[in-house]
Amino acid sequence: MQYIAIMKTATIPFVRVDPEFRAEVESVLGRGETLSELVEASVRAGVQHRRVQAEFIARGMRSRDEAHRTGEYVDADTVIEQLQRKLDEARNRTAKTQE
């Protein structure tokens, strides 16, 4: 016999806020959106942001370690110039699509 495990839902701890803030939050809810949906979406976005941030830091630490190991570094001015070129190219593409 095979059993399929069904996950139960869980709750996120309640957060106490002052009435003015709750009113402000409720004032920005979308049509048909509940406060619970907004809180869940906000928590999910926060988790995703922290995950991306942690991955970014981990890549930077690996890059730093590799630079220490090899002694190969890229001058900051060179990096900034390359980033500026990429930004300029992206802005040009955006400007062309808006014409």
pLDDT in tens, the chain (99 residues): 566 667 788 898 989 999 999 999 999 999 999 999 999 999 999 999 999 999 999 999 999 999 999 999 999 999 999 999 999 999 999 998 887
Domain holding 56, by residue range, is 19-98
The tally of domains found in the chain comes to 1
DSSP element (H, E) containing 53: helix 35-70
pLDDT for 76 equals 94
Amino acid letter, 58: A
pTM of the model: 0.66
pLDDT for 99 equals 77
pLDDT for 7 equals 73
Q: How far is CA 9 from CA 12, 39, 40, 42, in A?
A: 10, 15, 13, 18
Q: Is residue 53 assigned to a domain?
A: yes
Q: Is residue 11 assigned to a domain?
A: no
